[in-house]
Structures are given as structure tokens and as C-alpha cells.
Amino acid sequence: MTVRFVESSKLPTPWGIFVMHGFCDAENDKEHVVLTMGDVSTDEPVLARVHSECLTGDALFSMRCDCGPQLQAAMHKVALAGRGVIFYLRQEGRGIGLLNKIKAYHLQDQGADTVEANEQLGFGADMRDYSILKPMIEHLNIQSLKLLTNNPRKVKALQDMGVNIVERLPHQTGRNPHNAKYLETKKGKLGHLFNSEDDE
């Protein structure tokens, strides 16, 4: 197993105090973190968000995507529940990396959608690998998840590797004029499930 646990610490945030667990993936030299709140090792299903790193959305407040608002909303929902887990995976740009994502953005500036841009660069529409979650889930003794996602492929990927997903909870937020086409592509080409035009 290439993913190993390193250390845990407290992480105070505007939504409450999480515990941050650090993991190292030796195979590709990536560092991942998992935020937990409350006891996630009981039999009760854990409210969970699997979030792939998005420097532009999470840290630079980009409005080209809905990633930053989704991360913040997940932290807020976990804090309201008093118990939950957020997996923060270093899989920038749906797995193509930050610099390739900037190249993809350039193609989108010329009129390509997110899927077309990835494919023009020689990548698949979504290159993320969720198998790295398994050792993290096992380390934290998590039995089952209530997953905050609009992405049925993510649910299937986790189920295929033996993770018990008891419920998929819609997680819509962050729609704005700059990401309308991005969200339509998510829905039309990647099969994301959006309940309505309205965000929560």
C-alpha cells in the first residue's frame, strides 16, 4: 500500500475545530489530508465529502468553477452535524495538474468546454483516482458514508472498491454567471445530478 498515515493535529476554522490527518502517497509523491469532526469510527454512517484540490477555486476565489463554495459548504454542513469527514485529495484539475489546468483554461477562453479542453490536451475528461481513499477510510475506521456529491461516477468508484455508501446527498452551491457553462458541461457530459437551477 503506497498511502500511509503521517500525523494528526487540530485545525481551528470559522466553522469549528476539525482534526486534520495527514497522509503521504509514496507512489506519486502527493500529500493528502482528511478533516474529521466528532467520532467517525462508530457504526452510524458518516457525513462525507470527497473534495479534489482546486487551488484556483479553493484558495484564489475563482468563479470559473464551484469548488471553493462546495468545500466551504461541506465544512459548514459537517460542523452543523457535529460529525463528519472531508477527504481533501491532491488531484488538481480533475487529475491533470495545475499547469495543465491553466492550459485547459486557455482553451476554454477560446470557446472549448472543460471536457473538450482536457481532450484537446490529450487527457480524459476526468483523470482522478479514488483508490487512494481506501487506506484513509480504513485508518479512520469509517464503516459507511453519507456522501455529499452530485457526481454519480464518484459514488460508483467508491462502491466499486468496497466503500459502503448508504446515501447520496445533493451538494449544489456556488452557481454564478462565470461558471454556468462549466456546470452545464458537468451535467450534460459528466452526468452530474443537479436538482434544479436553484442552489441551496
50 is in an annotated binding site: yes
Residue from 66, 109, 126, 198 carrying the catalytic annotation: 126
Catalytic residue among 128, 129, 175, 198: 128
**Does the annotation place 49 within a ligand binding site?**
yes
Q: Is 70 annotated as a binding residue?
A: yes
7 is in an annotated binding site: no
Q: Is 101 known to sit in a ligand binding site?
A: no
Check whether 24 is labelled as a binding-site residue: no
* 126 flagged as catalytic: yes
Residues β-bridged to residue 62: none
Judge whether 149 is annotated as a binding position: yes
4 annotated active-site: no
- Ligand-binding annotation for 134, yes or no, is no
Confirm whether residue 36 is marked as ligand binding: no
The Cβ-side half-sphere exposure at 101, using a 13 Å CA radius, reads: 18
Are 109 and 47 in contact by the 8 Å Cβ rule? The answer is: no
Rg (CA), the chain: 16
Is 93 among the annotated ligand-binding positions? yes
Task: Concatenate the DSSP letters of all residues of the chain into one string.
Answer: --EEEEEEEEEEETTEEEEEEEEEETTTTEEEEEEEES--SSSSPEEEEEEE--IIIIIS--SSSSHHHHHHHHHHHHHHHT-EEEEEE--HHHHT-HHHHHHHHHHHHTT--HHHHHHHTT--S----GGGHHHHHHHTT--EEEEE-S-HHHHHHHHHTT-EEEEEE-------TTTHHHHHHHHHHH------S---
Residues at the annotated binding site for GTP? Answer: 49-53, 70, 92-94, 114, 149, 154
Q: Which residues are catalytic?
A: 126, 128
Residues at the annotated binding site for Zn(2+)? Answer: 54, 65, 67
Residues at the annotated binding site? Answer: 49-54, 65, 67, 70, 92-94, 114, 149, 154
